[in-house]
Amino acid sequence: QVQLVESGGGLVQAGGSLRLSCAASRRTFSMYVMGWFRQAPGKEREFVAAINWSGGSTYYADSVKGRFTISRDNAKNMVFLQMNSLKAEDTARYYCAAKFSSTGYYSRRDEYDYWGQGTQVTVSS
């Protein structure tokens, strides 16, 4: 069992930045691919970014490529999402997810084993 707790959401103006954090409870954190998803009101949860065990491979949705950066600190059991040049359409609840696999590319919700409760990001235009 892995518990995930997100933090760092808030209200920001368009063009601004936020850094989301996700703390994982599992000591074998490095055995998990980590992902970020988001869900806006009335929409399905969508993939944002993922990172492999070492942080050497990252993957992004086209909508955030070049603006968002995913990273991880295995020593602290943490994964981060740096969000720059935020747009109103980035407004959503952001979820951290864990997939028991050290490698691979996973962008579907049903591929992930554990989820956090989410943190709200609101971008005002």
Residue 91 above 80 pLDDT? yes
Ramachandran quadrant class, 95 (left: phi over 0; alpha: psi -120 to 50; beta: rest): beta
What pLDDT was estimated at residue 94? 98
60 pLDDT band, cuts 50/70/90, is: very high
Quick check: 13 and 75 in contact, CB under 8 A?
no
Interatomic CA distance for residues 102 and 104, integer angstroms: 7
Q: How far apart are CA 22 and CA 4, in angstroms?
A: 6
- Do residues 11 and 125 touch, judged by C-beta distance below 8 A? no
30 or 44: which leads in pLDDT: 44
Mean pLDDT of 110-125: 96
